[in-house]
């Protein structure tokens, strides 16, 4: 990632897009590379500009932000989509995270929280409101528990899972474990498959739930 965090804004309200642009323009380490009110256009702009973070609304005039997020993350699983929505219902949060979003804010959050979340996302971490954290924890608790003998994690995978839960980036994990970032991504892929989880947010909450780390 470059020193400047490149942001794509997707929102159906021009006033909100302009407001976010003004807030980001005040930050020396950020820039808006594109903005749109269209989910389909968001997919095209992502492929064209390859931003570090996509700030994604959920209700759009053509396809939903959830569908746009899914398409972007299918094309690039490393994409960092930060949902910023009016909705904090469990259904919206879970659907967005299952689509591949790695962060979830509500529009009532203060501007400084959005800026902080963009930096967290660009660094490879997750960014969630308290409601989103609680919703994902409840969601994981409802999922069938995987038996260790059926889906064992190796000692290295457990080590990496703990670091993910503490917010370490792939680069930091690679340096700590003396392996390449490609190997880290491979380990994370295997961990997700074994546990039946889709993203870093779910992995982090799983690690806390299983008491691999303290909350």
Do 178 and 89 reside in the same domain of the chain?
Answer: no
Distances (CA, A) of 187 to 20, 71, 78, 105, 145: 36, 23, 14, 28, 21
Alpha-carbon separation of residue 48 from 51, 53, 60, 145 (angstroms): 9, 14, 20, 41
Judge if 82 and 28 occupy the same domain.
Answer: yes
Whole-model pTM over 0.75: no
Q: Is residue 66 part of a domain?
A: yes
> Does 97 share its domain with 153?
no
Q: What CA–CA distances, in Å, run from 51 to 13, 14, 81, 151, 173?
A: 21, 20, 10, 35, 23
Task: State whether 33 and 70 are in the same domain.
Answer: yes
**58 Cβ contact partners less than 8 Å away, ≥ 6 residues apart:** 64, 65, 66, 83, 85, 87, 92, 96
Divide the 215 residues of the chain into consecutive groups of 10 and give the mean pLDDT of each group. Answer: 85 93 94 96 96 95 94 88 88 86 89 93 84 72 53 84 85 90 90 84 78 71
In Å, how far are 10, 22, 106, 198 from 100, measured between CA atoms?
Answer: 16, 27, 17, 7
**Same structural domain for residues 46 and 134?**
yes
Residue 214 maps to a domain: no
User: Residue 98: which CATH number?
Assistant: 3.40.50.2300
Number of domains forming the structure of the chain: 2
pLDDT of residue 14: 92
Residue 215 belongs to a domain: no
* Same-domain pairing of 84 and 99: yes
Quick one: 20 and 39 in the same domain? yes
Amino acid 141: pLDDT: 63
168 and 192 inside one domain? yes
> 35 with 57: CB under 8 angstroms?
no
What pLDDT is stored for residue 95 in this prediction? 87
Last residue of a domain, one of 94, 114, 138: 138
Query: What whole-number distance in Å separates Cα of residue 10 and Cα of residue 23?
Result: 15
Let me know whether 168 and 93 are in one domain: no
Is the same domain home to 107 and 151? no
> Which pLDDT does position 2 carry in this prediction?
52
- Residues 75 and 100 placed together within one structural domain of the fold: yes
Same domain for 117 and 196? no
Domain that holds residue 90: 5-138
């Amino acid at each position: 990632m470059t020193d400047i965090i490149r942001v794509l804004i997707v929102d159906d309200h021009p006033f909100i897009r302009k407001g976010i642009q003004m807030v980001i323009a005040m930050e020396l380490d950020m820039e808006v590379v594109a903005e749109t009110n269209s989910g389909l256009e968001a997919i095209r702009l992502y492929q064209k500009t390859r931003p570090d973070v996509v700030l994604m609304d959920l209700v759009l005039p053509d396809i939903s932000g959830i569908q746009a997020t899914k398409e972007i993350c299918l094309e690039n699983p490393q994409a960092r989509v930060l949902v910023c929505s009016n909705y904090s219902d469990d259904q919206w949060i879970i659907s967005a995270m299952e689509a591949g979003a790695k962060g979830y804010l509500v529009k009532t959050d203060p501007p400084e929280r959005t800026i902080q979340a963009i930096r967290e996302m660009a660094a490879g971490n997750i960014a969630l409101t308290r409601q989103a954290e609680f919703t994902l924890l409840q969601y994981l608790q409802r999922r069938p528990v995987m038996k260790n003998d059926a889906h064992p994690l190796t000692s290295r995978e457990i080590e990496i899972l703990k670091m993910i839960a503490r917010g370490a980036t792939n680069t930091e994990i690679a340096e700590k474990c003396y392996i390449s970032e490609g190997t880290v991504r491979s380990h994370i892929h295997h961990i997700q498959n074994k546990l039946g989880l889709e993203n870093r947010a779910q992995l982090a909450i799983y690690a806390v739930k299983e008491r691999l780390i303290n909350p």
